[in-house]
Structures are given as C-alpha cells and as structure tokens.
Amino acid sequence: MSLWSRISNALRGGRLNREIDEEFEAHIEEAIASGRDPGEARRTFGSILRQREAARNIRVAGWLESILADVRFGWRQLCRSKVTSAAAVLSLALGIGSCVAAFRLIDALLWRPLPIAHSSDLYVLSRKMTGFDGKPAEHDAWATPDFNLMRDAVRNADKDQADLIAISYADRTDITWTTDDDTEKAHVVYASGNMFPLFGLEPTLGRLLAPADDRGSGMDPYAVLSWDYWNQRFGRDPHVLGRSLHIGDQSFQIIGVGPREFTGIEKGTVTDIFLPLRMSSFATQESVTWHRTFLMLKPDVNRAAALEPLRQHLSEVSRAFETERSKRLHGMSRASIDRYLNQTLVFYPAGAGISDLQKDYRRSLGILGLLAALVLLIACVNVANMMTAQAAARAQEMALRISIGAGRHRLVRLILCQSALLAFMASVLGSLFAAWSAPFVLSLINPPDNPARLALVADWRVLLFGFGLILLVVLLLGLLPALRASAVRPVSALKGGEDPHSPRRLMRGAIALQVAFCCLVLFLSSLFVASFQRLQNRPLGFSTDRILLLETVAGKGQLPVVWNQTADALRAAPGVDSVAISSWALLKGIAINSSISIHGAPPVTAFFLNISPGWFSTMKIPIVAGRDFRPEDASPGAAIVNETFVKTFFPGQDAIGRSFERGVDPRLYQIVAVTPDVPYRDLREPGRAIFYVPFDETDEKSVPRSAGFATFVIHTDAQNPLALAGSLRQLIAQRHNGLRVSNITTQDDLVRDQTIRERLIAMLAAFFAAVALLLAGIGLYAVLNYSVLQRRREIGIRMAVGSTRAGIVRIVTVDAFAMIALGFGAGVALGFGAARSVGSLFYQVKATDADMIALPACAILLTAVVATLPAVLRALRTDPTEILRAE
C-alpha cells in the first residue's frame, strides 16, 4: 500500500503540493489561534519550500517521478516534429504488427502444444521407404490390422512404456441428421477408444469414447461431437444426446460432447465428429492405409532410453505384417515388393499436432516471418537514424545537462524513454494491426470445401512475444543514440563539436544495412511473385472456362447405364452445352495408379482415369491421333494414352493399335488414340504416363460393373457455371435413381486451389517488398537531407571557390551510392542463401536467374534516385553568399 500510495502521489504531483501547503497553513493558523506570534509561527517552519520538498521526498516515489518527467520531455520532443514522429510510429507499428501477426500464425499452426495432457510425450509413427516410382517416399498412413498387431505387441511387451493410438485423417464426409436426403458435410475422424482417456480429456456432456468401444465392426455405433460442432450446429442444445446421425447406411448414436478446447489433432481442421475406429469398413482391410498411428509414452518413462527399443520393436512387428501381406499381392515384381518391404519406421514429436497444413505452410510461414522481421528491422534503422540526427542536433543541450550535473545514466534514460514512448505507441497500433491481419491471412488459406480453421488465441505466449519484441525495438532504437549522447564531452560540445562527421558515418552504415535488408526482401519477393505467375500462367492443355463439376455419389453404386441416362438428362437441360463423366476431375488432387504389363513384360505402374465419350471435347483437350471413345467401348477394351505414356512405353513407335494388360485381368486394352499431356493431380507435377479408360466397366464375365462415385463435367452456356448448379442438382435429385450430388465446384476453382499457397506468399511478399522499399526510400531521403543540411557550410565554400554543379552532386551522393552498392551486394548474397533453403517453394524459378536480380536492382536504384533528388536539389540551391555571410 505504501508503494502504491507513493506511485499514485507521483502521478498527482501538483495536488500533493497543494495538500502539503494546506496542511502547513492549517498548522500555522492553529498556532496563531493558540496565541503565538504570527511571524514567529511562520518562521518556525523555516523555508516552506524546503519543508515541502522534504515532505514530498517521503511521500513520492522519486524514481517514478523522474521517469515521468523524462516521458513528458520525450513526448514534447516527439511533438516538436509531428510528421517525422508519426511516420516513425506508423512504420514501427507496421513492422511490429506484421511480426506479431506472423508469430501468431506460426505459433498457432506449428508450435502451440495441443490442449491435451502430456502433449510432449506424443509421437506420430511414420515410415520411410522407396516408392514404386523409385523415389524416396514417406507415409504416416497405417492399415488397422497392422496397427492392431503393433498395439498388441506394445501392450504385451512394453506395457509400462507406452500406448498406441489410431486416429484417422479428418475427412469431409456426407452426413444426414434426419432420414431424408438432407445431407450436409462434417469433418469425421475415427479414433481408437483409448484416445480420449490417454489425452486426459473430459466430456462437456455425456461420455466420451472409451477403450470398451473398440469391440468390433458394427458393435459400437456411437459418436462424440466436438464442442465446436455442438456449438455451431446445435447451439449447445443438451438434448442432442441420444440423437442419431447417418453416414451412408450406418447410424451412430450421439453419446457425448468433447471438451471445449480440443478440436482434434490436425491443426488447421476442426474435427466435428469422433467415431470408434472399428466402425469404419476400412478397419478390417489389410491393404487400406487410412489412419495415423500415435505413440503416447507413459508419463514417467525416460524418453531417450525408451524410444529406440520401442521403435525397433514396432518396426519388426510391422515388417512381419507387410511380409505376410506381400505374399497375397499380385501383379507386382519380386524386386518392387522387396523394395517396398525395405521400410524404416520413425517417430516424430506430435505434441503440437500434425496436419497437411503444417507440412504445406511450414516454410512459407517461416519466409513470411523473415520478411516481417526484416521490415521491422528496416523501420527500426529508420527511426534510429531519426533519433541519431535529433541527438546530434541536441549535443549542446546534452553537454549543458552534463555540465549542470545530470548523471550520464539519466541522459541514457532520457533517450530510452523517448524510444520507449515511440515503441509503446507503435505497439498499440501494431497490436490492432496484428489482431486484424492474422485472421485475414488465415482466411486466405481457403480451398472452397476445406477452409483452414485455426484457433488464434491471444494469450501469454503472444503477450510475451510482443513484450520481448518491444523491448528489442526500444534497445535497437535508443541504445546507440543514447550511448552517443551520454558520451558527449561537455567542453568540446559546447565549443562547437569535435567531430561533426561522426553521426553521419553512423547513419551511412545504417543506409548500407537498410539497403541490404530491403534487397533481401525484394529479392525473395520477386522469386515468389515470379513463381506464382509462372504457375498461374502455366499452359494447362485443357479449358477451365465454364466447366461446372458435380461430384456425385451413389450409395451402394449404380450401373453405368444409370449414370449415362443421368448425363443425357443433364444434356437436355437448358443452358447446358455438353456433359461428360469422369471418375474424378482433373486437378482434384486424386491420383490412382494401376499396374500394367505390355506384351507380357514385367508389370509397371501408370496412372489412369475413367472417362465417358465426349470428355475430351468438353474439356477442350485435342486428340493428336486416333479417335475418341464410342458409347459401345468399355473397360477393359479400349484405352487412350497421353504422349508421355507413348514416350515411356512405346518410344519412337506408333502407339495406336498397340495393347497392354492391366493387373491380373488377361483381357487387353487396345490404344485407340493419343492426347497431349495435361496436369493430372496437381499443377507442379512433371508429365506422368497416364491412360484413360472408358467409364463403362465390365467384370470378368463381361457384366457391367456399378460405380459408387463420379463427376459430371458440364460445359455451360452461361459465363458463370455455378448459376446452373442449383437447378442441375435438383434435376439429379428428382430422378430418384440413387445418385446424389455431394459437392459442387468448378474447374476454375480447382485450378485456383492449386495456387492458393503461391498466391498467398506472392501477395504478402509483394506487400512487404513495397513497404520495405518505401521505408528504405524514406530512410535514404532523411539521411541525405540531414547530411546536406549539416554540410551546408562546406558546400557553400566549395561553390564559392568554384566547384562545378556536377562536383557538388558527386560529393553529396557518392557516399550514399557506395553504401547502396555495398548493401545491395550483401543483400543479394543473403538472398542466395535464403533462396536455397526454400527452393522447394519455387516453381520454375531459380535464384540465379538474371531477371530475378535485375528486378530488385532496378527497384532499389529507382528508389535511391527518387530519394536523393530532393537532397541534391537542396544542395544545388545552396547560396554561397548567404552561407558565407551567415558565418
């Protein structure tokens, strides 16, 4: 209470003085009233002023009072040059805000531990292997029978060491709450029953899945909702317990709602519904790898000692499983099976969650963080320059302060107070900026059917980071000018200064630093922007214009004739130009391969797609040679291959009329046409060997095979294909033939999805580049302007003794341009280093491309010219007679 009252007294100094005076007056009055001589009564106090000071010192926190005085003084200094101060605050705010926003994103996605017990003991199992294409590959997907063996092995042998948990990928699934056709999408996760207890999670409502819910397929049709889904979909209705939801032909009963913070283990996706692992039809299939496997160490197990034996044990169990399984594989060569079996099991820490979003954006966010930090540094250098200039202008004042007895630490504090004031104002603005920009950037990661969702909480982690950042900024800004100012030697400063050039030398070094940072930002930005442009302008080989995609499912599958009739009905609808069917759309992100054998040669793998006749013309893909499929073609039978397929398997030959076998089916596919390569799964992939087969498939007895899903590819007359989506979906529903539209998109959107990351980085990088360039320009302008002002006398004398205008321009700019060249070289060197570490983010762009360096060079040169122009003009306008007269 005492400290508090002293602090509050410091904040109301004026009032305190009045109170002390009033008390003394009252005392004197009492004394006079009790009969003392007024003069004497007054004299006993001695000097009232001195008494007041003594009283004050007791009642006031002195250090605070002097800091307050410093802050007030600093504020007046800032107010003296309002425009400069505002620019300083704004640029710092932008830098601080960007850094905090980048930190929030990176922390939320990559670093923040999951809200579960013992998150640091959680590991994910992954295996490194050689893929079928001969390249190293890594997968974290496991088959449930394999998981069961591993889990039992851990349970039997390493009982006190760890537990294994299976959690499937969050899958956007069609679910129904009522029995009618009113389906909606939800992210569904299948998890082993031990997940909730091992994570130490408690239900908000009802109960959570337990190990007892793992009894067997179809035995435990229970579902647990996540709190988020319960909140959004049901408005936290407690009566949701006991309701049923339907997925396909399965029904699940809601038994509980999970804890509020837990949204699943995939950062970036919020899980809506948790189901028991064994309820999935995949759970019994040994060849379907469909869930992740996690290892949770027991709480007091020695991590270093336990992990390696566990890894070896699990590796043996899994290898035994795969060896057994490979005996039942057909259509693969012994060599490729052996290669496949040569796997290495590895553990990765998974305490911060694990997701594709993390994998895709780890490096991108790192780069954005780096760019934000560089912008902040540039802003700091700018403001430090400003303060150095001001401090130089105040050298005499500082000298005077020291002469009349100010301690040097008091001077340091004076300037640090000023920079803290700047940093404080900037951080208030910056936190507003960060509060807006972090969710904004996140919202840009928005594939239409799966926008990224991430909890961006502002808690002590963010506060701590922000506080550290402000401290750093204060020191960066203030320390150098403060030390310089406090090192002032009063005698020489009051005489007129010993070395007027020293602050300029410091500021010139700052220019080099700033240009280096700016160049690094520009260089990286131009690489990212060029990558994005090249990716976006990559020739697709097909048309995305006016293509509507109706992704359609048929519960238990429908015969091709049903699909074809539906396509006919769509064709008859108004506004529809042409309709074709493919199993899935190009660039949907799906790739399925199949082993093929050419004339009995050892099997090789190639990717395929089932399509209906007319698909090529709808997609505007030309047929180079041969003919399109006809309605009577079926699979197996006819096939169309792309040019890479021809180059790979029939080099230098005419492929048309040739044939190949697929899998173990002895029936032949005969190649009827060749088409150009088009991107198949994603935009970045190199050309793959792809074969197209008819959508109509038949089994060994030539009986038509039913299809469970396919996409209607519709070319519309209208510019916006989505305008027709509603009516066409309705049209399919009205046919009541078991087909149901599950998702609607356009080919344009699928292409756009492929470039979301590149677009995001390019956009933000361009933004940071513009800011960096602007700040560097302002910095350069300020330094040159200051230097011309300082050297006015010198310039005037030079002019008077006959220096030419070119000579004046040279002495004003030559130093600056030397510094710019130095900074540019350093920046490019740094850029090469940085670019090498993120090379995987570039598309057809190399750091060594000449135009990648030329662009930043031109931008910096142009900025430099614009920024130096005012200073040069000012120098040239110097009037020697006026200067000399003033001296």
Partner 1 sequence: MAKTDSLQGSLDLLVLKILSRRPRLHGYAIMAAIASTSEEVLRAEEGSLYPALYRMEEAGWIRAEWIKKDTGRRARVYELTDAGKKQLGAEESRWQLVSMAINRVLREA
Which residues in this chain contact partner 1 in the complex, by CB under 8 A? 1-2, 5-6, 19, 22-27, 29-31, 34, 44-46, 51, 54-55, 58-59
**3-state secondary structure at position 206:** strand
Q: Tell me the DSSP string of 169-182.
A: --EEEEEESSSSS-
Going by C-beta distance under 8 Å and a sequence separation of 6 or more, which residues neighbour residue 700? Answer: 665
621 within 8 A of 541, measured Cβ to Cβ: yes
In angstroms, give the least distance from the CB of 167 to partner 1.
Answer: 59
Going by C-beta distance under 8 Å and a sequence separation of 6 or more, which residues neighbour residue 88? Answer: 382, 383, 386, 422, 426
CA 495 to mean position of chain CA atoms? 57
**3-state secondary structure at position 286:** coil
Q: Which is nearer to partner 1, 33 or 404 (CB)?
A: 33
Q: Which is nearer to partner 1, 6 or 311 (CB)?
A: 6
Q: Which is nearer to partner 1, 31 or 210 (CB)?
A: 31
Dihedral angle sign, alpha carbons of residues 494, 495, 500, 506: negative
Q: Among 169, 270, 173, which residue's Cα sits nearest to residue 226?
A: 270
Q: Which is nearer to partner 1, 23 or 316 (CB)?
A: 23
Q: Which is nearer to partner 1, 58 or 304 (CB)?
A: 58
275 within 8 A of 252, measured Cβ to Cβ: yes
Strand partners, 125: 347
In angstroms, give the least distance from the CB of 58 to partner 1.
Answer: 4
Q: Which is nearer to partner 1, 46 or 448 (CB)?
A: 46
**What is the H or E stretch that residue 74 is in?**
helix 62-80
**What is the H or E stretch that residue 728 is in?**
helix 725-734
Going by C-beta distance under 8 Å and a sequence separation of 6 or more, which residues neighbour residue 293? Answer: 124, 125, 140, 142, 147, 150, 164, 165, 166
In angstroms, give the least distance from the CB of 27 to partner 1.
Answer: 5
- Give the pair of three-digit tokens for residue 810: 């040279």
567 within 8 A of 580, measured Cβ to Cβ: yes
In angstroms, give the least distance from the CB of 56 to partner 1.
Answer: 9
Neighbour count for residue 44 (Cβ, 10 Å): 10
Q: Which is nearer to partner 1, 9 or 144 (CB)?
A: 9
d(CA 372, CA 521): 9
Q: Which is nearer to partner 1, 54 or 137 (CB)?
A: 54
In angstroms, give the least distance from the CB of 7 to partner 1.
Answer: 11
In angstroms, give the least distance from the CB of 63 to partner 1.
Answer: 15
The CA distances from residue 767 to 518, 524, 840, in Å, are 12, 12, 22
> 387 exposed, middle or buried (CB, 10 Å; 0-12, 13-18, 19+)?
buried
Q: Which is nearer to partner 1, 23 or 449 (CB)?
A: 23
Amino acid (one-letter) located at 82: K
In angstroms, give the least distance from the CB of 12 to partner 1.
Answer: 15
Q: Which is nearer to partner 1, 54 or 219 (CB)?
A: 54
In angstroms, give the least distance from the CB of 5 to partner 1.
Answer: 7
Q: Which is nearer to partner 1, 41 or 864 (CB)?
A: 41
In angstroms, give the least distance from the CB of 23 to partner 1.
Answer: 5
In angstroms, give the least distance from the CB of 256 to partner 1.
Answer: 54
d(CA 512, CA 504): 13
In angstroms, give the least distance from the CB of 38 to partner 1.
Answer: 14
